[in-house]
Every structure is written in C-alpha cells, then in structure tokens.
Structure 1
Amino acid sequence: LYRDWVVAALNADVPYDRFLELQLAADQMPGIEPTDIAALGFLGLSPSYWKELKLDPAVIKAVVAEEWEERIQMLSGTVLGLTVACARCHDHKQDPIGQDDYYALAGILASTRVTPRSLLPERDAQVAAHIRDELDSLARQRDELKKQQPQTVDLERQVDELAARIAAVERATPQLSAPVAYALEDASLLVLPDGPDRTKLEFRPGEAQNVAMQIRGNPSNVGPLVERRFLRVLSPNGGPQVFQRGSGRRELAQSFVTAAAPLTARVIVNRVWRQHFGRGLVETPSNFGSSGSLPTHPELLDDLAARFIANGWSLKWLHRELLLSATFRQSSGANPAALAIDPDNQLLWRMPRRRLDVEAWRDAMLVATDRLRPELGGADRSLDDSNNFRRTLYGNVKRRELSALLRLHDFPDPTQHTSHRDVTTTPLQQLFVLNSPQMLDMAQALAARVTREAASDVPRQVEHAWSLMFGRAPSDRERAQAVAFLQSGENGASPEALWPALAQALLGSNEFAYLD
C-alpha cells in the first residue's frame, strides 16, 4: 500500500513539501483522503526489533534505543542529508549537532506507535474496528469451547453456532475486507519492570513524552530530559521552538520545509540529479555535513534548489528541467582534449555512461520480449516466479532473504538506510546471465518474438532483434556474424533452434545493460 501511494503521489506531482508532511503526519492533517494514510508507511514499515519480555527492562530499553537510532539516521539522512545519529552518544564530532538535538528527535519517536489502520473514511473505520473487536471476542469463546474435555454433542453444537455467527458477521460487514496499512498514532511507549528480570511494554495513546539524554548512549545512565524540537543549527535566530502538538511529527515535517527548506531542497535536487546523471553534484547524498563531499558545482545546486522551491516543490518540474538541459543531451563519446584535463568528468563535459539499476534492466528485458504488464498498483509477486511479467517495482522484497536477481545485482540492503548503490561487476552476475532460469526464459521469449515478427528471413530477423534490443541497426560486422551463426546449422539445428542462444548473448551484453 505504501508503494502504491508513493507511485500515485509522484504521478500526480504532489509537491515535495506536502509529500514529506503526508509521510510523517497524514493522520494529523485535515482534509486528507483515506488512502493518504498509507503514506505513513515511511516510518510504519521501518525495521523493528524483537523485544523478549522475559529479559530485564535495561535490555529492552537498549533495543528500543536502537530503533530510535535507525529511524533518526533514516529521517535525517534521507531528508536533510545529515548524520544526526552520530550524536547519540556525544555531540557530533564534525557537524554542529548536539547530543540534545538527537534526543529532541528521539522524543518524537518515543511518542509514536506503529499501528495497523484501515484505509476507510473515519466513520467506516470505527465501525470496522468495533466489529473486529466483536469477532475477536466470539473467536476466543469458540476456542475456549474447543479446549474443553470431553467434547460433547452440546459443546460441538455451541462451537458450530459461534462459527456460523462469525461467518454471518463477516459477510454482513464489507468494511472488514478493506486494505489495512502500517500507520502511526501518537502514543508514548514506557518500558516497565514486571517482576524479577521481566519487562512489560505500556503504550499510552494520545500522550507524548520527552526523553532523557543517555550518557554515552547508555539507556541505563540517563541525564536531563530534552524537550521535543527541531535541530538548533537549522532553526531561526530565536532558537528552536518546543513542539506542542502531540508527538510533534507534523511540526517536524513542517520544520523540514520551512526552517530547513534550503537544505531539504538541495538534498532532493541532488538525489534527482544523481538518478539522471549517475553521480550527484554532491557525491555523498545522505551526508551534506563536514565529513561529506563538497559539491562540484555549488552555484548550480543553489540555483536548482531555489528554483525548485519557487516552482512549488514540483518534482516533475525538476525532472523536466534536467532532462531538457544541454548537459543531459550531450553525447557520452570521448573528447581527447577534455579527457586530458578532466578524466573523471567532474565538469560534465560529456554525458556519463551508467549502468541500469537491476529494476530497469529486468524491465527492459520484459519490454524487449513484449511481455511487460504495465498496469499500476496491486499486490507484490516473487521475482523468481516465471509468470511474473510486472515491473520489478512490484517484486516481493524480503528483508532477510533477497531473490538472487536482486542480491547479485547491487540491490541495497533493505534493513537500513542506504544513500546510494555501489555498482559492482562480478563473475556471479555473468553466471546468472548464463545459467539462471529467468534469463533462459527471457532468451526463449525474445527468440520467439523475433522469429514471429520477422518471419523466416534471417537477415531481417537480425535487424529486428538489434532494433528491439539496442534501438539501432546492426553494423555490417555484427550482421554478418549473427547471420553466419544462425545459418551455420550447428548439429543440424535450424535458425529458429539457434535463436535462443543468440538472444541470450544479446540480453547479457554490455550495450543492453548500459545507458550510452
């Protein structure tokens, strides 16, 4: 649901400032659509750790503190390009971020609870919640009756009656089948003792709390309480205002795009630039601090960020501005004179060659084989499913068990914030192209399409294959080699029988995997 919401929001060009606010505080914003609750999956789907309540409260407090750190790192790195989590144990060593800043943000998270929520209008959601409580009560009664021994005819009759009542209520309440999102609500989490070496977790809905600084990051050694607020260094001259509305999630989101607007805009502009050019104007997209890289073109970054805000935080405007620029439309061909001056292309004298991300690579194969299903939304499916022809965006991602396709092709670690993907070239990637069932199936499909659409004319088939794969005609040498291979009659094979081998070679080629 969160993925579908993000796709819909980007397609609708929801302004980036509102895009952020919805993801942090959609439940606190007036006039939203029920489906906007899915936006809260930004935090609602963040990793959470198992809390074994048979352990001492000190252990559980440490687990909760680890969750705060992960979420603060994700929030500050994604939105502000700052490493605020480095201030958990002490003031930041490089940037003007105090330990009190860290715990001011931690208080917001300590006052927020992840909770399932139906994507229904409020009144219908309340009805569904009431009915669900009633069904839970009936189910408990049924289960208790099943446990009684010996089982008599009368007990079996009562069990059947309860089962029938449950089924009748479910049929009469269509709201129960509405999708449920991982949402947020304001609720303080208290970690309390529950006897010797035992713990209980108590949520207090509607309450917010400030948390104490933890000396050297130790939850068992606390200092003074820190009020919930924004980072001091990014606040106006009067200093940060204490957050007063509930947990402070909405005030935090508003601070991102008001007090910190120049930085927030630079960070997202740099991320979009990196997506199109393969390298950001700042090469450390989640670290704009002193330990990060300096921008290669600071005036350009400033100009784009200022005009991005002036154009209503429109991401579509930003994409259009970059894609229609002379810089983007350059050739990627080499210029010996420029290469001698700037071999790393820091000054952008040519368009950088860049490899497709694994999602785009798989989608391109589905397009070439004429099997891509382009519809939007819906449930995810396994990428190992040979009948899954949807965009890779809708592939199932298991945090601890990635599919071979993703694991081998530089997919980022889904358990933590990742600022960028490291591009690797390994023997296992080529072995995947040679031996994986997915690639063999893609090759068969491409061969079938080429022979179907270009009849039995082998030279025409080769022309058609190059057009589908590379958007160009084959060179004379490529044409001659491909035709010779297909007409070689190796082991008595016909051209149709040899086409899958050639198709597999084309799918695994560098030209198909790179934007040039």
Structure 2
Amino acid sequence: MYLRLFYLMLAFAGIVFAIQACNSSGSQSIEAQIPDTISYNFHVRPILSDKCFICHGPDANKREAGLRLDIAEEAYKALKEKPSGHALVPFKPKASEVFLRISATDSALIMPPKSSNLKLTSREISVIEKWIKQGAKYERHWAFNPPRTPGIPKVENEDWVRNEIDYFILQKQEQNGVKPNPEADKERLLKRLSLDLTGLPPSIELMDKFLTDGSNNAYGKVVESLLQSQAYGEKMALHWMDVSRYADSHGYQDDNYRSQWPWRDWVIHAFNKNMPYDQFITWQLAGDLMPNATKEQLLATGFNRNHKITEEGGVIDEEYRVEYVTDRTNAFGKALLGVTLECAHCHDHKYDPFSQKEYYQVFAFFNNVKEVGLESTVGGPQTYAKKPLMEISNEDVKKILTFVNKQDTSKLIVSVMGDRDTLRKTFILNRGVYDDHGTEVEAGTPKSILPFGSQNVKNRLGLSKWLFDKRNPLTSRVFVNQVWQEFFGRGIVKTSGDFGMQGELPSHPELLDWLAVDFMNHGWNIKRLVKQIVSSATYRQSAVISADKLKTDPENLLLARAPRYRIPAESVRDVVLASSGLLVKTIGGPSVKPYQPAGLWEAATSGRGILTNYKQDHEGSLYRRGIYTFIKRTVPPPTMSIFDASNRDQCEVKRLNTNTPLQALVMLNDPTVLEASRVLAARLLLENSAVQTKLVKAFRLIVCRNPNEKEIKVLNSYYADQLKVFQQKSQIEKVLAVGEYPIPEKINKRNLAAMMQVMTTIYNLEETITKT
C-alpha cells in the first residue's frame, strides 16, 4: 500500500509548489486612516520601496537620472538633470519634484511612468505629501534602534483584556473598527493549548478534569501543568532543530551517518529546565570558551557543528573549511540577529547597512576552529563525528550528562567547538571565492547594529556578550518574534528571518518592543514569555471567522480571531500515535527509522557508508515522536517532507505551509496512520461498551472534543456499512495486514476491519490535524 503512495507521490510531485496554504494569501492588508504623524519607516519607505526604488534605490546598475531616494542626503541634493530642482524640499511639497511627479496628470511627467505598470494610490500620494509637509525626515531603520518600553495603550473594552499583550492588540482592533472574537470553547481551547505547549493532544482524563473545573483559575492550572510536562521540551526543541539545521547525516553526496543526537537531548533538557535564553545561546556559541568549561557546556556547542560536512575524496580542503565557517556565520545572522547577513558574502549588502568587510569580521569569530575541510572519507564509527569532538562515556551519563539517553555501551562521540591555539588570519574573500584573499580583517560586528566595543574579547564568548548587550536592538526582538510565530502561525514581523530593509514591517511594533524589553528585564525567561502569550485573551479567542472579518482582514493581521492552520509535520505523527495509544514517550536517544517506501535511499546514494540502505526499526522504535525520526539530508523522510518539514540543509526559522493533495494521500495511505487506526479500533472493541460509546471515545481521543449528534450518527452509519462491506476473509486480512503491532488473538476481525475504517476516517478529518 505504501508503494502505491510512493508512485502517487512521484506523479503529484509537481503540484507541491503550485498550491499555497490558505493562510499565505496575498490579499491586501487593511488600510488604516492616514496617521497624524507620518513615519518614514512605517508609512513612507514601504511606498518608495514598492513603487520607486526599482529606479531610484540602492541598485546603482538600475538607477535612473542619478536620483537615489533611499538615502536622505541623496534625496535632498540638487537633481542631476535639473540643477535648480530638488527631489525633496522639507516642508514644501510643491517645491519637491517627487510630489510634483507622483501627483502629475500629464502622462509624460507622471511617476512611476506608465510603462512600469506601477501606480501610486491617492492615499499613498497623500501620505508622501503629508510627510514632506512635516519635514520629510528620514529615520534609521526601525530594527536597528534599541527597543524602548512603550506606554500601555488605552482601550475602550478593558473588560476583554487579560494581560498587557491584549492592550496592544485591542487598541489596533478598535482603531480599525474590529471587535475580537469571544473565547474559544473549553474543548477547542484545551486542544490548542496542549498542541502548542507539548505537541500532543490532551488525554481524555485532562479533558474531563478541565471541563468539570469551574474555578476561575482552571485554565491557568492547565497551563502550569503542561509547562511542567517533559513533552514541553520536545515541542520547543522542534523549532530549534530547524534553526540549528540538525540532521542525522553529514549531507553532500556520500551523506554518511553522524552521531549528533546527544546535542538534541541537551536542547530538550535545556528547555525543560527553563534555561534562560542568554545562557542557552551563550553555551551553544561559546560553551568551550567558558571558564572551567563543563562537558555539558561543551556538548551545547554542537549547535555550530550541525552544518553539512563532506566526506568525498578529491575535494579541496580549504574550500570546504571555508564553506563550514560561512554556514556558521550565516546561521548566526539569520537565527540570532534576524538579518540576511549572507548577502554581504560576495559584496556590500545591497539593501542593509552591512559591508562585505563587516561580514568577514563576523566570519572571523568562527574561523579559528580546529577543523579541516575533509577529515576522512566514508568509513566506520570513527567518521560519525568530526574533530573537534568529545566522547561521552557511561560515567558521564551517570554523573554529568544525565539527560543523555545513551542506550548501550558503544562509543559515543559528538562534534563540538574548539579553537586553535594560534589565531588563524581572516581575509575578505573577493567575490566570496575561498582562495581569493583581499584585505585582512579582525573580528568585529556591523556598526549599524551595535559596535563591538573594546571591552569585549574578540572571540565567540565576546560575541555572545555583544549579542546579549541590552543595547543590541535585534537579539530579544528576533527571539520574541520567533516564539510568537510558534503560537500564532506568523510573527509580529512576518519575515522572521529578515528584520532588514527588505523585510516586512511589524504588524504591532509597540507590542514587539514591549515584549522584547520585558523579556530582557525578566532574565530572558522563556517559560514566562510562553505563559504570557498563552494566557492572553488574544490567544484564547475562537478561531471562527465571519464573512466580514474574512473580507476586511483576510490575513488576520489584527488578530481579531485565533489563527487556524495545520500543525507541524512531526505533530501530525505525534497526534496519530498518541491518540491510538501507540506512542512511546521515552525522552531523547538516537534517531529512529519508521516505515518508509522501499528504495528511496538506495536510489540516491553514492554506494558507500552505512546509510546506503534504509534499515527500518522495529518494536518500540517504530512509535517514537516525530522529533526523533531519522533525517538523512539527501533523502529526508518523505512523509515529513510532504507536510513541509525542513530537510535541515541550512538554518530555517520559518517553515513553508502548503496544502496539497499529497498530504491527503499520506493520511489515507501511510502505514503509521493505518496501523494506529487498527490498534485503536482493537482497543475500543475489547472494551465492554456500546458501539456508540466506543465511537464517542475515539472522536474525543483523535479530534479532542465530543462529537455532535449529526457526527455520531454518520459514524454509526458508516460502521454499519463497513460491516456489510467486509464479508470475505481475504478482504479482511488484506486490510488488517498493515504495521507490526500484533492483533489481539481473541478479537472479531470483521468488526476490527470495519472499526479500523471508521478510525481512519476520523484521522482524515481536517480538524484532526488543524489547530483551531
């Protein structure tokens, strides 16, 4: 059956990129009234960027008439083609050529020219006119100004507010004449909360307890309980696996095995113990440089060794060593600063104020690692980790690294960070070419963000201190935004990996700054931040969408309803396993290989190494959480890929979210889903209860709410129909022959096959794998 799915996957492969998720609609955003005070960053620059910069922006090769509008001094000076005129004359729109040309009616004068197919709206023209009247003041890019704590806004409907977040959200809703949704019902709210905090559906016991708890703090008690669950660390770590580009193979053509999973165990442990974010990152960036560094601190630095590593003979050693340093530099910029630093690898950044020299100054922090481009070619266990490395002994696991789930006595090694005794020189690489050395540079940081400062040591530990300097405008904003994204589907800044000039503006800039400052002032406490978000009235709203709200705010920028979107790929697996009772809840340990179509690895291999053939695991290893699924970079798990999981080639701070026919095919044909359906059906049939009671329980386990009268009637009818369908033994055996979990001996197989089809149907409900 899974082979059939594999061929269907190939047939439909071209569809994946053609169909986008409903919540990535390109609909126009809400147009608010023209503000009293016009901001260049938030009101004017977006207009100029969309309509003017293509000819009058930073790209010198496309610039027309020598006019540049993205820099104040260029925009104010006399025009090249009309020395008596100026593009912008502060306070005088009618003396400013920009205003005269965008408001012209003569087709020979109007800007943008008709040939460009661009046109300013009357509102956009009015905004620019008002900006000029107010002095045409340019501003430093908003993200490079340190966040300041804004005052809590005043709102009319204070009864709705539960914490500070809600004031900022409600203020904008009221400004736009929109009212928030009422609170979601208890069942849907609990499912949402449980999926967001643990990645697992709530148990029936938890549902019953919450539904019958009439106290004012019933919701708060559930929040606290879920935050203390060990599954919380697994759910939070999932996003960090994408950020850190964690995988179980080296990548490139040979793509052999690597034993980096103890680092993943550490990440889960760090989230569960609520390690402060500044410590969490400092250990990963520079744990090896800490005074009297412990083995745990050293293990944490595996973050910067998760990049791809080649084992192919014949490669140029220095080329690949530079490639590894480049990866670490780019990941640092995207993950921790939220900027496209990599754009300055070959030349000065075209849009953001980062020079190529500054790129290689950051590069220098990661350029002194005791590593080579090619350490060894594909072979035995000695290649599982690359130097510098650390060995984890059984004694370490007993006394120091107690969170590492080491299951046997075999040698366990992990790639970590470790610098050379002598400083390796760093040069600007002309055009980014590894051996074309330009000017020598020392370690440093972009001045537009925050000068490095003479008090900081020029190593990775000093870089971390710079990163967590409260004057750094990006660190807290970027992480807070990523956390917000995990709960609402999109960040306050939608482009969570790009806070630069070409990134999107924050939908609620004051809220972003308030959260960022509050996060810093409360010890970079991650659980506290998470609790603030899920405790807000904003989060607790119903996801029901009215036709009016869909029309006025299709992308839900105002958050006048809870977002509705499909849960992550790993959580789809987790929901299926947990609801059926198959889930093995063991924390940590080596990655596992569940069911997979035959021949995938064999069709994409160099023929060397232990990952040439896919050797499926058995017994309990088949039923581990999605975060533990083995990721081979060249052939990532197909089911995960179909549900938009990262292939972990590089740092990724936000996944795509598509909705394709392949996803429906997976839910209908995947052996894990079918096996879970069979196992759950058997467990229900073995209970001494009526059929309707069994169906209600199944619905609650899978969908996490009680079915209504119509739903239970349909399921009852479908079960009766399936009993009629399954008359022949061969037909029954064929349906039940899926998965390795044993079928109970004393069970009516006809009833089992019929009930299994009902379970599969419930698993295939959209609501099952959707957060509402």
Q: TM-score, normalised by structure 2?
A: 0.54
How many Å apart are 1:262 and its aligned residue? Answer: 3.4
Match of 1:115 in 2: 388
Match of 1:333 in 2: 544
Q: Distance in 1 between the 2:470 and 2:540 partners?
A: 35
Q: 1:11 aligns with which of 249, 269, 272?
A: 272
Give yes or no for contact 2:678–2:752 (8 Å, CA) kept in 1: no
Give yes or no for contact 1:37–1:119 (8 Å, CA) kept in 2: no
Match of 1:481 in 2: 714
Unaligned segments of structure 1, at least 5 residues: 126-175, 188-205
Match of 1:2 in 2: 263
Between 1 and 2, higher relative CO (CA 8 Å, sep ≥ 6) is seen in: 2
How many Å apart are 1:307 and its aligned residue? Answer: 0.3
Q: 1:276 aligns with which of 447, 472, 487?
A: 487
Q: Distance in 1 between the 2:396 and 2:682 partners?
A: 51
Counting only pairs closer than 5 Å after superposition, residues 107-506 of structure 1 correspond to structure 2 as 107-113=364-370, 114-119=387-392, 179-187=412-420, 206-236=421-451, 240-241=453-454, 244=457, 248-258=459-469, 261-384=472-595, 385=617, 387=619, 388-453=622-687, 455=688, 457-488=690-721, 489-491=723-725, 493=727, 494-506=750-762
Q: Aligned to 1:347, what secondary structure does the other structure show?
A: coil
Aligned residues: 439
Amino acid corresponding to residue 296 of structure 2 in structure 1: T
Over residues 297-324 of structure 1, what are the superposed CA-to-partner deviations in whole Å (9 max), with x where a residue is unaligned?
A: 0000000000001110010011000000
Q: Distance in 2 between the 1:15 and 1:179 partners?
A: 28
Q: Aligned to 1:14, what secondary structure does the other structure show?
A: coil
Higher helix share: 1
Is residue 326 of structure 2 the alignment partner of residue 69 of structure 1? yes
Higher strand share: 1
* C-alpha spacing 1:476/1:124, structure 2 compared with 1 (3 Å): closer
* C-alpha spacing 1:491/1:508, structure 2 compared with 1 (3 Å): closer
Give yes or no for contact 2:692–2:716 (8 Å, CA) kept in 1: yes
Q: Distance in 2 between the 1:332 and 1:482 partners?
A: 25
Amino acid corresponding to residue 476 of structure 2 in structure 1: A
* C-alpha spacing 1:487/1:256, structure 2 compared with 1 (3 Å): same
Over residues 426-473 of structure 1, what are the superposed CA-to-partner deviations in whole Å (9 max), with x where a residue is unaligned?
A: 2222222222222221111121122233x3511111111111112222
Give yes or no for contact 2:426–2:441 (8 Å, CA) kept in 1: yes
Moved more, 24-33 or 319-328: 24-33
Match of 1:87 in 2: 344
* C-alpha spacing 1:327/1:356, structure 2 compared with 1 (3 Å): same
Moved more, 484-493 or 304-313: 484-493
Unaligned segments of structure 2, at least 5 residues: 1-261, 371-386, 398-408, 596-616, 728-749
How many Å apart are 1:51 and its aligned residue? Answer: 6.5
How many Å apart are 1:242 and its aligned residue? Answer: 8.8
How many Å apart are 1:415 and its aligned residue? Answer: 1.1
* C-alpha spacing 1:104/1:17, structure 2 compared with 1 (3 Å): same
Over residues 187-234 of structure 1, what are the superposed CA-to-partner deviations in whole Å (9 max), with x where a residue is unaligned?
A: 2xxxxxxxxxxxxxxxxxx11223111222223432210011222222
Matched residues, percent identical?
31
Q: Distance in 1 between the 2:393 and 2:672 partners?
A: 39
Q: Aligned to 1:184, what secondary structure does the other structure show?
A: coil
How many Å apart are 1:24 and its aligned residue? Answer: 1.2
How many Å apart are 1:425 and its aligned residue? Answer: 1.9
Give yes or no for contact 2:726–2:753 (8 Å, CA) kept in 1: no
Give yes or no for contact 2:480–2:512 (8 Å, CA) kept in 1: yes
Give yes or no for contact 1:51–1:60 (8 Å, CA) kept in 2: no
Over residues 123-142 of structure 1, what are the superposed CA-to-partner deviations in whole Å (9 max), with x where a residue is unaligned?
A: 999xxxxxxxxxxxxxxxxx
Counting only pairs closer than 5 Å after superposition, residues 44-55 of structure 1 correspond to structure 2 as 44-50=305-311, 52=313
How many Å apart are 1:386 and its aligned residue? Answer: 5.6
Q: Distance in 2 between the 1:433 and 1:348 partners?
A: 30
Q: Distance in 2 between the 1:456 and 1:12 partners?
A: 42
Give yes or no for contact 1:399–1:415 (8 Å, CA) kept in 2: yes
How many Å apart are 1:34 and its aligned residue? Answer: 2.0
How many Å apart are 1:417 and its aligned residue? Answer: 1.6
Amino acid corresponding to residue 450 of structure 1 in structure 2: L
Q: Distance in 2 between the 1:357 and 1:74 partners?
A: 22
Q: Aligned to 2:448, what secondary structure does the other structure show?
A: helix
* C-alpha spacing 1:50/1:232, structure 2 compared with 1 (3 Å): farther
Over residues 393-428 of structure 1, what are the superposed CA-to-partner deviations in whole Å (9 max), with x where a residue is unaligned?
A: 222111112122212211112111223111122222
Q: Aligned to 1:8, what secondary structure does the other structure show?
A: helix
Q: Aligned to 1:481, what secondary structure does the other structure show?
A: helix
Match of 1:200 in 2: none
Amino acid corresponding to residue 767 of structure 2 in structure 1: E
Over residues 111-133 of structure 1, what are the superposed CA-to-partner deviations in whole Å (9 max), with x where a residue is unaligned?
A: 01341112469x999xxxxxxxx
* C-alpha spacing 1:216/1:26, structure 2 compared with 1 (3 Å): same
Q: Distance in 2 between the 1:45 and 1:419 partners?
A: 15
Give yes or no for contact 1:214–1:220 (8 Å, CA) kept in 2: yes
Q: Distance in 1 between the 2:396 and 2:586 partners?
A: 29
* C-alpha spacing 1:19/1:468, structure 2 compared with 1 (3 Å): same
Q: Distance in 2 between the 1:216 and 1:118 partners?
A: 39
Q: Distance in 2 between the 1:260 and 1:107 partners?
A: 22
Moved more, 61-70 or 475-484: 61-70
Match of 1:160 in 2: none
Q: Distance in 1 between the 2:726 and 2:503 partners?
A: 61
Amino acid corresponding to residue 209 of structure 1 in structure 2: R
Over residues 153-172 of structure 1, what are the superposed CA-to-partner deviations in whole Å (9 max), with x where a residue is unaligned?
A: xxxxxxxxxxxxxxxxxxxx
* C-alpha spacing 1:492/1:501, structure 2 compared with 1 (3 Å): closer
Amino acid corresponding to residue 414 of structure 2 in structure 1: A
Give yes or no for contact 1:234–1:260 (8 Å, CA) kept in 2: no
Q: Aligned to 2:419, what secondary structure does the other structure show?
A: strand
How many Å apart are 1:347 and its aligned residue? Answer: 0.6
Q: Distance in 1 between the 2:550 and 2:662 partners?
A: 32
